[in-house]
Structure 1
Amino acid sequence: MSSSTAVTVAGITGIPGYAGAVPWQGPRPTCLPIAVSAAHQVSRSMHPPLSPEALWRHALRSGLADADGTTPGAMETALATVGQPLLTDWPYEPTIAPTKSAASPTPPPAALFGQLHHVALPGGLALLGAGMPLVLLIHITETFSLVDASGAVADRSNQRRQGLHAVLAVGSDTTGDIDRVLIRNSWGADWGVRGHCVLTTDYINEYADSAWLVIPT
């Protein structure tokens, strides 16, 4: 994982509690547990980072994860039943095989639990204004892979959809002619602007599959 610094991209500053740490998921299909982990962390307001390995391992053992990734339903169950220890107690390993998980600590560390709730779009994006991060499952497109120097992703309609990817929405700007959303990716700090990009709400409305909110319990 990377260092944590406050982040502002294209005039959008991250919501309170978001410190700007951007992970590199490596070749593993773990974008969803990584995004859910970050949402869980931010929802606890500056809590130390949480381990996505716990969520991924539970999904694998439940038969709900494979080389293509996992599902929100699997993450919902894992958050509620096994929870997440601190990242320092169970570090993420970006280079292990796609259908493996890092060895769990012995004895098992203390875990924190949460609930994963589906949020309807586009209205759910208003939660960002209330300081609540959202996990977005979004289709990768050509323009998503070509972030410009400012961090913006071109808003082009009818692009070919290249598979689903989970990202974390961590801020928004509704003051201009076009509403925009600050996105934290999991492709390392060298992608985009320090690992971030900015999507218009039009882009999200066209290419997002679903949105999810983590509530600590």
Structure 2
Amino acid sequence: MSDIVPEIDLRANFGPARDQGARPTCLAFAASDAHAALLGPWRPLSCEFAFYHAQRRAGRPPSSGAILPAMLQALQHDGQPLESEWPYLGGLPADPGGYGPPTVKQVFRRRGETGSQDYDEIVRRLRTGETPVVLLTISDPFYMPDAAGVVDGVGGDDPVRRHAVVAVGYGRIGAEDAILVRNSWGTDWGLHGHAWLPRSYLAPRITCVAVLTEVADVPAPNIAA
């Protein structure tokens, strides 16, 4: 593997990579971390709060993954408190009726927008200091980046395996450019929770890109429980 030559590296805007465990909460983690990085200095925001409200808005159970439109609505209208106000749950309560947010002191709201499925759109955003949320399908090599932190190789593609990460850097690996992503599988994955995805790997697997924009100071509209 050729040496990695970074051009952009925004990892310093974030804290340690977090771990979603076995729950389908990758989008909540990616959106929460992109949101927290904009607030600075780093204070993690409650993924549980964002996930709960996204599922509620979409009418989806907490046992299934979130969808992007509902997550963006939740961040804009419901916001997020600090992680300490509703820490992430390793598992859901046995009684579904017991799953709900506590009373929180403060929430931070943020608008967001979806972009294209274009790899170069991610690069353009990174060049302006933004850290896009990237939705993609993953294959077997994604689970085990190599010693240099590069996801390399083909095989094991499955369009059902969808994931969300945060783009935090850009560079080159030999003759090919690559994007550095922040994952939510803990610090044991890749480079302390990050990995380089070459253009040839990432570009054909992007399903959507979203960017968080300005602060939203809007009341949450009434929605059915």
TM-score range, shorter chain: 0.7 to 0.9
CA distance, structure 2, for counterparts of residue 146 and residue 119 of structure 1: 28
Once the two structures are superposed, the pairs formed by residues 1-217 of structure 1 within 5 Å of their partners are: 10-12=4-6, 14-15=9-10, 18-62=13-57, 63-96=59-92, 103-106=100-103, 108-120=104-116, 121-125=118-122, 126-156=124-154, 159-173=157-171, 177-217=175-215
Counterpart secondary structure, 1:191 = coil
Percent identical: 31
Taking only aligned residues, the RMSD between alpha carbons, in angstroms, comes to 2.6
- Whether the 8 Å CA contact 2:11–2:168 is kept in 1: the answer is no
The structure whose Rg is larger is 2
Give 1:16 deviation, angstroms: 6.6
Deviations for 1:125-148, whole angstroms, at most 9, x for unmatched residues? 111122111111111101111210
CA distance, structure 2, for counterparts of residue 180 and residue 153 of structure 1: 10
Give 1:215 deviation, angstroms: 1.4
Distance change in 2, residues 1:66/1:90 (3 Å): closer
CA distance, structure 1, for counterparts of residue 95 and residue 70 of structure 2: 15
- Whether the 8 Å CA contact 1:139–1:207 is kept in 2: the answer is yes
**TM-score with structure 2 setting the length:** 0.82
Structure 1 range deviating more: 193-202 or 93-102: 93-102
Give 1:68 deviation, angstroms: 3.1
In structure 1, runs of 5+ residues without a counterpart are 1-8
In structure 2, runs of 5+ residues without a counterpart are 216-225
Deviations for 1:87-117, whole angstroms, at most 9, x for unmatched residues? 12221122336996865233x2211111121
Counterpart secondary structure, 1:88 = helix
**TM-score with structure 1 setting the length:** 0.84
Give 1:201 deviation, angstroms: 2.1
- Whether the 8 Å CA contact 1:168–1:185 is kept in 2: the answer is yes
Output the amino acid matched with 1:212. A
